[in-house]
Every structure is written in C-alpha cells, then in structure tokens.
Amino acid sequence: MALHAIRSEKQIAANIFKGSLGNMIEWFDWYVYASFAIYFSAAFFPAENKTAELLSTAAVFAVGFFMRPLGSFIMGRYADRHGRRSALTLSVIIMATGSFVIALTPGFVTIGIWSPLILVITRLFQGLSLGGEYGTSATYLSEMASPSRRGFYSSFQYVTLISGQLLALLVQIVLQNVLTNAQLFAFGWRIPFVIGGFGALIVLWLRLSMEESDQFNTVKRQKNRRAGTLTLLMRYPKQFFTVVGLTFGGTIGFYAFTTYLQKFMINTTGLNKEVVAIINFAALLIMLILQPLFGMLSDKIGRKPLLLWFGIGGTIFTVPIFTLLAKTNSPWHAFLLMLFGVVIVSGYTSINAIVKAELFPTEIRALGVGLPYGLTVAIFGGTVEYVALWLRSVHFESLFFYYVAFASLISLVVYWRMTETSSISTIGGSETQTPQPSEN
C-alpha cells in the first residue's frame, strides 16, 4: 500500500483516465471496421453474393486478430523492460496510422488487388497494436489503482473498450441519419476511420503526460535482465494456462453477444440496420455502466463469484437467447435478449484485467497477461464472426449457439478450480520478491 501513498485518489484517477481514454480510441478504431463492414465490404471485395462479401471482411477481421499474440509479445516485453507508458504510447501511434491508411485507400475498382492487400496489411499492424494494448493497459490500470479499489479501477479497461464500441455505433447511427444509403456505401464509411485517426493523435498527446507505475519503477531500479523475457514467463506455466482458460469462454461470449450479434439480428432475425444499431447502442450502454459496479462488487466479495456468474449463465442461457432471438420480430424482445446476454458476459469483462494481473509479478506482468490472452483471442475470439457466418452459409447456424455455450462451460471449470486471485495478488508491496509458480 505504501507504493500508492504518494499519490492522491485524484492523481490516480487522472492517470487511469489518460490510460483508459487511449484504450477507448484504440477499440473505436478496431470496432469501426466491424460496424461499417456492411458498407465497405463491396469496395474491397466485390462479389455478387452479400454473404460472400461479409465472409471476406470477417476473414480480414480474424486476420487482424492473429497478429495480436505477436503484438502481445513485442509490446508486453517492451512494457516490462522499458515501461508501461512507453508501450501504450507506441501502440496508439500504430493504431492512428492504420486508421488513416484505411480511410485513404482507394477501392477495388480503382486500384484492383492492391486495395484488399493494403486493407489486410493495415489490419495486421492494427492487430499488432491492439495485442500490445490489452496486456499493457490491464497491467497499468491494475498497478496504478489504489489497493482497495483495484477491481473498480481495472474495470475501466472494459468501460473504455465498450465506450469505443459505443462510439463506433454512435457514429454509425449519426451517419445513417445524415447520409443516404448510397452515400454510406460510396464514401461515408471512410469518415469514422478519419475520426479514429485524429482521436488517436489527441490520445498520444495525453499519454505523453502519464506517470509511470511505482511497481515498474521499483523493478527498473533493480535492473532485472530477465524482465519481460520468455525464459522468465516459462516459470509460470500454471498462471499462463489459467489466463488461457479464463479468456477462452469470455472472448467467445463477448464477441458473440456484442460484435456478431449485430449481423445476426440483421441477417437472421431480419431487423433493419438502423434499428439494430440502436438496439446495440442501448444494450452496450447499460453494459458499460455495469462494469464499474461489478468491479466494485469484486472488491467486496472477491473476483471468483463474478466469474462463476458468467460461466454458469453462459453455459445455461446462450442457446435459449440465440434461439429466441432468431425467431422474434420485435425490436424490444431483441433488445431484452441482447441485454440479458451482455449482463451475463459482464461477470467476465468487468474483472478479467485485474484477475490476470494479480497472477504475475511486476517484471513479467505485461507479457504474462498479454501473451496468453492474445493467443486465445486470436484463435477463438477473432474467428467468432467467421465461424458463425460459415455455419450460416452451410445451413447449420444453430451449432454456433452450442459452440458459445460449450466455451462458457470450459471456462466455468477453470473458474471453479482456480484460487481467489484477490487473496494471492502479486500486486502491492511484494514486487521485489518473485513468487514461486506453485504458490499460485
């Protein structure tokens, strides 16, 4: 606790705000792609079949995810060796550049195959950026938070993540009401990428004034040459695979009930795009509000009960939610079903950052949190849309519902068996002593 005595709650909140705002812009830039794919898919991947176009853009979305483990490794190592602030600043520079490139890239009819090639390469670099952002951001927020409020403060990682998604949806709703459908398909989809690029430049300026965490400064003074290395990470196999298990059901559930659900309500439920955008916005706004409430609750009762809430809820209710949603024709029913889904997922999203950060010591925390997370998200989170759309194309869409439920069940087993992390947290005054793997 002494590590935080020199900072007031106001100073802590200011640093967390700067770190969180960058996280929001990075996720806005990332989600703009998913939100506007229905408008720009034909520009990069011209095809007669609309599902084929969406499959192509979903594949590129997944390709971006596959760079995230590499980003987690590069940025995590950099953050553990050179500082959280430096790594967070670098990641936002990469994301800003990518947004401007997508906004300015001509379509397939203008430059041919170069158009989708540029899109793919750009998404690869954005995936690299986002891969580094997660682990470093989770580490920074957890280390910067006051000890008794770590669940609350670290929940702002998903507050800002969801804010980025909400902002992308808000821009979509505004453009849908200001521009015609033809204008959106022609040039309107480029506007949000420009917004994201300029937003990232503002965040870059803010992040340059962030303070470094005391935990990292303590380790830096010790000049530990093993900090941020795979050799050191290999000493924590149990923690590594715990993060994989924690993330598996959570990432599939999150992307199923948020990103993919937008396309599901359009393609399967049959609701129009404008109504679906409003439903998503309202449900995600409530989900955003729930994050700090769940985070505060975890500071009182522990992290494990909330993880069990998600694991049990996702296992039991995923199939009924999607089945009912596929059959409804009421926007209100669709909204309530989506809301139920995101309330369940909030048991994971609100506290996953602090749970993972509490597993690793400072000198390997950013890499330890980011790399197993990045690998799991790349393989399973990034392919959620593609798996769902492919099953739909072969007329087995309902199998996707069971896939999501099964993923929740697997993670439920991990949650049930794991130790309450708040009781074994490595964040705090014991940074100078690396805990043995068997202790966790």
224-262 tens-digit pLDDT: 667 778 889 999 999 999 999 999 999 999 999 988 998
Closest to 303 (Cα-Cα) out of 155, 134, 124: 155
Average pLDDT of the chain, as a whole number: 86
| Residue 102: Cβ-neighbour burial (10 angstroms; 0-12, 13-18, 19+) | buried
Domains and CATH numbers, the chain: 7-212+229-423 (1.20.1250.20)
Tokens describing residue 349: 């999203």
Whole-angstrom Cα distance, residue 75 to residue 72? 5
183 Cβ contact partners less than 8 Å away, ≥ 6 residues apart:
none
Tell me what percent of the residues of the chain surpass a pLDDT of 70: 90
Q: Are 95 and 25 in contact (CB under 8 A)?
A: yes
Whole-angstrom Cα distance, residue 222 to residue 232? 15
Is pLDDT of 54 > 70?
A: no
Whole-angstrom Cα distance, residue 123 to residue 112? 18
Say if pTM beats, i.e. exceeds, 0.85: no
Summarize pLDDT for 110-169 with one digit per residue, the tens.
888 888 888 888 888 888 888 888 888 888 988 888 888 899 999 998 999 889 888 988
**Mean pLDDT score, 412-440:** 67
Is pLDDT of 404 > 90?
A: yes
- Band of the pLDDT at 26, cuts 50, 70, 90? confident
Closest to 162 (Cα-Cα) out of 309, 54, 289: 289
Is pLDDT of 268 > 50?
A: yes
**Mean pLDDT score, 328-338:** 94
Query: In degrees to the nearest 10, what's the CA dihedral of 111, 114, 115, 121?
Result: -160
180 Cβ contact partners less than 8 Å away, ≥ 6 residues apart:
none
393 Cβ contact partners less than 8 Å away, ≥ 6 residues apart:
51, 55
